[in-house]
Amino acid sequence: MPPPCASIGRVDGEFELIAALRRRMQAAGAADRSPRLILGSGDDAAVSVPGGATATSVDALVEGVHFRLPPFTPANVGHKALAVALSDLAAMGAQAGEAYVQLGVPESFGTEWLMELTDGLGALAAEQRVAIAGGDIVRAPVLILALTVVGHAEAAERLLSRAGARPGELLAVTGELGGAAAGLLLLERAELAQGLDPAMAERLRLRQLQPQPRLAAGQALAAAGATAMIDLSDGIAGDAGHLAAASSVAAVIEPERLPLQEGVGAVAKAAGRQALSLASGGGEDYELLVSLPEERLAEAREATAGAGLGLTVVGRVESGAGVAVSAGGESSGWTAGFDQLRPR
């Protein structure tokens, strides 16, 4: 529960509160700063002149479904809500532009916590050069933070979808997998951290609390010849299936090649789980799964290295449908992706 401080209704009226939040965003460098934005927050609607092509995505975090307070802090919630929305733009190879915030606040949520949430959201927006262009705030039975984000490209052909993978191509992932699922286990069961290097355990927790959208890598992969891409929000087992279905192909994954984040194996063992289950079905790593011709692999690796990430080949695209685990590969623990409509 929030700390005992005045509720937003008693401290500020709606308009005063919105003005205070806007000042907080401006101080963070995250409000109305976009060359495309003509009129930002503070009016009835934002006005932009985007040019080229735009990609728009909507995502939401709901208390009790996607997070709990604690172990999440309000700043974590603000950061993560924007990060998961921007991850969809990363999967399109888009440059992030503007974000619109819909905030539902329960009566118990104090002004101090609301400002902390704004700080978390604003810090990531400033880091990713996203303009918070407007939004709305209402009462709600639980904390709800919904983000509409708009990305840009010079032309529609520069944007990727899930539908371009072709038989014979490679499947590769950025970064490392399993960290967010392992981090969630550590947040829920503190005893699992016994024997783990504290810095390693904290890195795992942060993969859950403060995921990083792979915007630079997405743009780099799109420019390097990728044919289809998806962000790994539900786990590679589920998201590879989404890519395969959109492209009318089969995704063949070699589980032994999945790049596990350091410490995932130790956390899985302590929890009586298998590391592969965390990497394949745990979800929320927000890395990118990409298909590309083999002859473009070296260029793609160089491009993602420039964005500070590795690129690991984890399978191939074949004719057919669905997701298959390669014959002879170690598949013990392979599990279906996370479904947001199932209880956690």
Q: What does the DSSP assignment read for 61-114?
A: EEBTTTB-TTTS-HHHHHHHHHHHHHHHHHHHTPEEEEEEEEEEE-TT-BHHHH
Share of the chain above pLDDT 70, in %: 83
Q: What is the CA radius of gyration of the chain?
A: 20
Which residues are bridge partners to 99 per DSSP? 132, 149
**Architecture of the domain made up of 8-158:** 2-Layer Sandwich (3.30)
pTM above 0.85, yes or no: yes
Rounded Cα–Cα distance for residues 218 and 306 (Å): 12
pLDDT above 70: residue 14:
no
pLDDT of residue 342: 43
What are the pLDDT digits (tens) for 75-127? 999 999 999 999 999 999 999 999 999 999 998 888 888 889 999 999 999 99
pLDDT at 108: 87
* 23 — pLDDT class (breaks 50, 70, 90): low
What the block records as the tokens of 295 is: 């002859």
Sequence letter at residue 261: Q
Report the pLDDT value the prediction gives residue 123, as an integer from 0 to 100: 93
Give the model confidence (pLDDT) of 127-171 as tens digits: 999 999 888 888 999 999 999 999 999 999 999 999 999 999 999
Predicted pLDDT of residue 10: 41
| CB proximity list for 328: less than 8 A, separation 6 or greater | none
DSSP bridge pairs for 177 = 260
How many separate helices (H) and strands (E) can be counted in the chain?
Answer: 11, 12
The DSSP letter of residue 188 is H
Q: Where do the structural domains in the chain lie, given as residue ranges?
A: 8-158, 170-325
> Same fold for the domain at 8-158 and the one at 170-325?
no
Q: Out of 3.40.1550.20, 3.90.650.10, 3.40.50.2000, 3.40.50.2300, which CATH number does the structure's domain 170-325 have? A: 3.90.650.10
